[in-house]
Amino acid sequence: MTENTTTEIVPTVSVTIDGVALQVPKGTLAIRAAEMIGVEIPRFCDHPLLEPVAACRACLIEVEGMPKPQPACAQVVGEGMTIRTQQSSEVAKDAQEGVMEFLLINHPLDCPVCDKGGECPLQNQAMSAGRGESRFEGEKRTFDKPINVSAQILLDRERCVSCARCTRFADQIAGDPMIELLERGAQQQVGTASDEPFDSYFSGNTVQICPVGALTSAAYRFRSRPFDLVSVPTTCEHCASGCSLRTDYRRGVVTRRLAWDSPEVNEEWNCDKGRFAFAYLAEGRITTPLVREDGELRPASWPEAIDVAARGLAAAGSRTGVLTGGRLTQEDAYGYAKFARAVLGTDSIDFRARATSPEETQFLRAAVAGAPIGVTYTALEQAPFVLLVGFEPEDESPIVFLRLRKARTRVVSVGAVATRGLDKMGGELLAALPGQEAAALRDLPADIRAALEQPGAVILAGERIAASAGAPSAVSTLAASTGAALAWVPRRAGERGALDAGALAGLLPGGRPLIDAQARAQVAAIWGIDTAALPGLPGLSGDDLLTSASRVGLSALLVAGVDPVDLPDPALALRAVDTAAFVVALDHHHSAVTERADVVLPVALVTEKSGTFLDWEGRPRPFGQVFKDALTMSDATVLGMIASAIGTSAGAWDVNGIRRELTALGPWQGARAVVPGVQPQAAAGAGFRLASWRELLDAGVLQEGEPFLAATARPSAAIVSAAAAARLGSPATVTVTGPAGSVTLPLEVGAVLDDVVFVPMHSSECSIYRDLGARIGTAVDVTAGGAA
Amino acid sequence: MTISDQTLERMRELASRYPQPRSALLPMLHLVQSVDGEVTTDGINACAEVLGISPAEVTGVSTFYTMYKRKPVGEHHIGVCVNTLCGLLGGDAVYDALSERLGVGHNEPTADGKFSLERIECQAACTHAPVMTVDWEFIDDVTPAAAVDVVDRLERGEQVLSTRGPAIRTFQATEHTLAFPDDGLAGEGTSVDDKMLAGLRYAKEHNMSAPAHGQEA
């Protein structure tokens, strides 16, 4: 991907602001031009990422030749313009103070009980740009307070200054115009339609950009004062978008999280999951190591638990399987990659707690692991065409969604559902039955192929290509034959980092093939071990690892943060855990795995350690430790303790040491595995095909304990086409039956292919793997009404 | 009440009259009122669906303009202008008389649903101040007694003509004409009479004209 970084000659105009002459790029707004010389003009409605609206009138300035003061936020600087702000113009100062006085007429003086107090632009600018005293002696307008514009977002209407930041955000950025300015005059207020709440995945941003305390979140309302909070820049752990966040805490408890500025990645936005889903941090922690004795887990000391774990794992050695889940930092994933190879001598390791395929494994080894940053958010914004395969950005990587929407790029999604998200991106659907994407890619219409041949065109492949036979091969082939850039967008935050750290069978850190002599030598040297001590052949991964464990009984399993319900065959996973002679679980919360483990070792949460997530671009998103006095240890640190108990040190296990090793190793420069060449497979069985993915807000364990957020999730439904619904007799509910069971869900008509039914993968009402025993593309029965 | 397929069809017809379908929202909301007697939630959702915009956006428009009612109005909706000129020339007294006669206040319907009353803003008929409207048709130069008489006659089921011609029908009937001004009823009567043109005539006779931009009057 070549980025357009050549020096472009930007036309400029000359302007004089407060007597200072300067050149600004043509099209610059007066409010921005003034910022360039350090003059801050008061503003509420102005936001650099929203279209100008000049709604609040707080930024009035004097422009020579214009009869009245002009709003600086909407006034484009013209050649030779002379502007006077409040710094040099009594007219501007007077106008600004007048507007401020008007804005405050109906604004309550409830700053002492308002959540915004202390970080409030209105409070601040009333001080800096307003009169000390109000001349208003009438009765202020009041409203019932607050009203719920959604379960999560609350509105105190009397505080609103009608700046329309929230409504413009909802319309322009999120594409969810479910809030609007209603009524008029003094009654003007933000509100929703009477039967459609503001259930946008991005609704929390409106709270953050509200320049007064009108919008608050149910989660944070009345929880703390901003000046009592300690703020730490962090990275979101919920998906591979890689958002910069600001985590605010007080007395050892996270009180809120905000989107933080990262122009290259999330700009100034984030999604509601990233903002609100952090209650899990405080609840239900595993507090002490646990060791199984007489069939029961009992608390144990660290030395005892480490000792038991070390003996059990050493005994199993290369007959150990390692499952790391997709949520670890790159450093922790690297710890597992190293521990497996250098300490246990096993290569049976996988970071994917989801549907996988050997084809995907080969694709990741060949095309993704250790690859330098290729496609970026900026590249998406500049791309003339983006093809989505097995990927629903709004649910699976919301910031990718926002960026594609912003760019108004031509988007085509290969799939079975023309989703609301696709509609909001102005995208088109290229029909492919679930699991049959490869055939659609093989038979691509000529215009789409031509679009992919344009310079800068991008193919975005989601994690669900793994569930579609031939899709990883097809996207690789298509990228090669059209010249389009290919990027893999996993869903979980830790997947890309784990892949690059070598937490996948056959791969050493940096994308190094396990079987390459030079790669082995490089890694062995850094780890300070003999090359021969590394496993010689690629181990097991994906389903093979679990099947093998379950069938032949791998002697031991080392599991980090894996919930069996995320795996396509939860029963198989549990059987594997049950049959393994020895199971060590590193986790911060209990799961079906920790319940069955022989040793449970509690590890640090993201707030208790520093680390790095690689976002889908491959961009490192390092973050610092929020709670510096936390006594918990990261996964890698704990693994280091087990390693030394076993008697192998193998280099560093602390975060800084691991970062040094990763830097020293760097990405692999040698030959890579070849991309897979799996052919599309025809669908088997008759009936409805199951389309499914993880919706952004669902029954994920990291969303636990946040009921307001959960209440804004999309209601679970079985979605079919209008024709299919008519065939079923348009019942209110349908029962979807898979190989292992059935669920009854409300029927919804959507833009779904005929003979396809969409069911959320893991909502609170239905989990397709657990409840249906069905995978993406499985033929399922759909019948009217409840279960027979 | 729900919006029928026929109403949806008429909404689509309105939407097709404009280069930007969204421009049809105002007549569509009048159509909703002609069918439901108010802007119902069903009506809002139907407009949103036909125009491809959100129900919140339709709600924003329907609450901005006072001619759109989010609560039921009477079979006849009576407006009395209470802006400065009408108010001073008797509009306030007319309003009070009607309020007493009907037993309702601003934007309230009578218990039998026959009438509702509203203080309205300038109707651009100051020549005939004070004015009242019945189902948006003008009653010019109205007095408290004349206003009450109009109500009495409507209550008795008599036909009442607006001062400038058109027969008073019902709120919903007028709303239909507002949605479809090409229904042949919009031009009934005279909208401009001799008295209203007196000023213009005088100005023309005396060669009076507005000062050019920037000039002192």
B105 touches chain A (CB under 8 A): no
Residue A298 and residue A371 in one domain: no
Residue A333 and residue A374 in one domain: no
> How close, in Å, is residue B47 to chain A by CA atoms?
12
Do residues A328 and A336 touch, judged by C-beta distance below 8 A? yes
Residues A713 and A197: their CA atoms lie apart, in Å, by: 11
CA of A197: which chain B residue's CA is closest? Answer: B56
B143 touches chain A (CB under 8 A): no
Token pair in block for residue A630: 């936390």
DSSP state of A57: -
What pLDDT, on a 0 to 100 scale, did the predictor assign at position A485? 98
Residue A345 and residue A369 in one domain: no
Residue A612 and residue A560 in one domain: yes
**Mean of per-residue pLDDT scores for chain B:** 93
Q: Do A191 and B45 touch (CB under 8 A)?
A: no
Chain B CB contacts of A176 below 8 Å: 54
Q: Do A193 and B45 touch (CB under 8 A)?
A: yes
Neighbours of A516 (CB within 10 A): 17
Top CATH class, B76-170: alpha beta
Residues A682 and A433: their CA atoms lie apart, in Å, by: 10
Q: Do A180 and B45 touch (CB under 8 A)?
A: no
Taking only residues 585 to 614 of chain A, the set having a beta carbon closer than 8 angstroms to any beta carbon of chain B reads none
Q: Do B59 and A194 touch (CB under 8 A)?
A: yes
A192 touches chain B (CB under 8 A): yes
Indicate the CATH number of B5-64 among 1.10.10, 1.20.1420, 3.90.1310, 2.30.30: 1.10.10
Task: Give the β-pairing of A718-720 and A741-749.
Answer: parallel
Task: Give the β-pairing of A556-560 and A582-587.
Answer: parallel
Chain B CB contacts of A182 below 8 Å: 59-60, 63-64
What pLDDT, on a 0 to 100 scale, did the predictor assign at position A670? 93
| Chosen domain end from A63, A85, A105 | A105
> How close, in Å, is residue B120 to chain A by CA atoms?
15
Residue A505 counted as domain residue: yes
Q: Do B44 and A196 touch (CB under 8 A)?
A: no
Confidence of residue B1 (pLDDT cuts 50, 70, 90): low
Instruction: Please name the member of A183, A184, A196 whose beta carbon is closest to the beta carbon of B56.
Output: A196
CA of A192: which chain B residue's CA is closest? Answer: B56
> How close, in Å, is residue A423 to chain B by CA atoms?
11
Confidence of residue B216 (pLDDT cuts 50, 70, 90): low
CA distances to B78, B108, B145 from B102, rounded to whole Å, are 11, 10, 13
Prior bond of A620 cis (ω within 30°) = no
Residue B62: pLDDT above 60? yes
> How close, in Å, is residue A422 to chain B by CA atoms?
15
- Mean pLDDT for A213-231 is 95
Residue A486 and residue A500 in one domain: no
Residues A118 and A224: their CA atoms lie apart, in Å, by: 11
Residue A320 and residue A402 in one domain: no
A180 touches chain B (CB under 8 A): yes
Element (H, E) at A234: strand A230-235
Of A24-28, A576-580, A680-684, least confident by mean pLDDT is: A680-684
B59 touches chain A (CB under 8 A): yes
What pLDDT, on a 0 to 100 scale, did the predictor assign at position B188? 75
Residues A614 and A85: their CA atoms lie apart, in Å, by: 45
A193 touches chain B (CB under 8 A): yes
Q: What is the CATH number of the domain that holds A33?
A: 3.10.20.740
Q: Do A195 and B55 touch (CB under 8 A)?
A: yes
Q: Do B54 and A193 touch (CB under 8 A)?
A: yes
> How close, in Å, is residue A191 to chain B by CA atoms?
8
Chain A CB contacts of B55 below 8 Å: 178, 193-196
Do residues A716 and A763 touch, judged by C-beta distance below 8 A? yes
Q: What is the CATH number of the domain that holds A727?
A: 2.40.40.20
Tell me how far apart the terminal alpha carbons of chain A are, to the nearest angstrom.
55
DSSP state of A685: S
Q: What is the pTM of this model?
A: 0.94
Residue A5: pLDDT above 80? no
Chain A CB contacts of B41 below 8 Å: 193-195
* Non-local CB neighbours of A109 within 8 Å, separated by 6+ positions: none
Confidence of residue A786 (pLDDT cuts 50, 70, 90): confident
Chain A CB contacts of B64 below 8 Å: 182-184
Q: Do A177 and B58 touch (CB under 8 A)?
A: no
Sketch the domain layout of chain B as residue ranges. Answer: 5-64, 76-170
| Share of chain A residues as helix, strand and coil, in percent rounded to the nearest 5 | 35, 20, 45
Sign of CA dihedral A576, A578, A582, A588: positive
Q: What is the CATH number of the domain that holds A338?
A: 3.40.50.740
> Pick from A566, A588, A775, A621: which is nearest to A690 by CA?
A775
- Mean pLDDT for B84-111 is 97
> How close, in Å, is residue B169 to chain A by CA atoms?
29
Residue A160: pLDDT above 50? yes
Instruction: Please name the member of A182, A194, A196 whose beta carbon is closest to the beta carbon of B60.
Output: A182
| Chosen domain end from A76, A105, A134 | A105
A704 touches chain B (CB under 8 A): no
Chain A CB contacts of B54 below 8 Å: 176-178, 180, 193, 196
A581 touches chain B (CB under 8 A): no
- Mean pLDDT for A365-376 is 95
Chain B CB contacts of A177 below 8 Å: 53-54, 56-57
Q: Do A194 and B41 touch (CB under 8 A)?
A: yes
Residue A630 and residue A533 in one domain: yes
Greatest CA separation found in chain B? 59
Residue A144 counted as domain residue: no
Residue span of the structural domain in which A459 resides:
362-491
What pLDDT, on a 0 to 100 scale, did the predictor assign at position A677? 92
Taking only residues 151 to 180 of chain B, the set having a beta carbon closer than 8 angstroms to any beta carbon of chain A reads none
Residue A334 and residue A481 in one domain: no
> How close, in Å, is residue B102 to chain A by CA atoms?
27
What pLDDT, on a 0 to 100 scale, did the predictor assign at position A2? 43
What pLDDT, on a 0 to 100 scale, did the predictor assign at position A687? 85
Chain A CB contacts of B63 below 8 Å: 182-184
DSSP state of A226: G
Q: Do A177 and B54 touch (CB under 8 A)?
A: yes
| Share of chain B residues as helix, strand and coil, in percent rounded to the nearest 5 | 45, 10, 40
Strand order in the sheet with A296-299: A296-299, A290-293, A599-602, A582-587, A556-560, A320-323, A349-350
A153 touches chain B (CB under 8 A): no
Residue A339 and residue A375 in one domain: no
**Burial class (CB within 10 angstroms; exposed 0-12, middle 13-18, buried 19+) of A660:** middle
B45 touches chain A (CB under 8 A): yes
Number of domains chain A contains: 4
- Mean pLDDT for A186-212 is 96
Do residues B74 and B171 touch, judged by C-beta distance below 8 A? yes
Residues A20 and B69: their CA atoms lie apart, in Å, by: 54
Task: Looking at mean pLDDT, say which of A672-686, B33-47, B153-167 comes out highest.
Answer: B33-47
Residue A692 and residue A735 in one domain: yes
Residue A554: pLDDT above 80? no
pLDDT tens for A102-143 read 999 999 989 999 999 999 999 999 999 988 888 999 999 999
> How close, in Å, is residue B55 to chain A by CA atoms?
5
A178 touches chain B (CB under 8 A): yes
| Chosen domain end from A426, A461, A491 | A491
> How close, in Å, is residue A172 to chain B by CA atoms?
13
> How close, in Å, is residue A50 to chain B by CA atoms?
18
Task: Give the β-pairing of B76-81 and B115-120.
Answer: parallel
Interface test mutation site (partner B, options A147, A176, A182, max chain B beta carbons within 10 A): A182
> How close, in Å, is residue B69 to chain A by CA atoms?
12
Neighbours of A3 (CB within 10 A): 10
What pLDDT, on a 0 to 100 scale, did the predictor assign at position A155? 97
What pLDDT, on a 0 to 100 scale, did the predictor assign at position A1? 41
CA of B55: which chain A residue's CA is closest? Answer: A193
Residue A472 and residue A515 in one domain: no
**Mean of per-residue pLDDT scores for chain A:** 95
Buried b (16+ CB within 10 A) or exposed e, B168-190: bbbbbebbbbbbbeeeebeeeee
Rg value, chain B, Cα: 19
pLDDT tens for A702-755 read 999 999 999 999 999 999 999 999 999 999 999 999 999 999 999 999 999 999
Compute the count of residue pairs across chains A and B with CB atoms less than 8 Å apart: 46
A177 touches chain B (CB under 8 A): yes
Neighbours of A722 (CB within 10 A): 13
ipTM metric: 0.89
Chain B CB contacts of A184 below 8 Å: 63-64
Residue A368 and residue A477 in one domain: yes
Q: Do A180 and B41 touch (CB under 8 A)?
A: no
Chain B CB contacts of A180 below 8 Å: 54, 56-57, 59-60
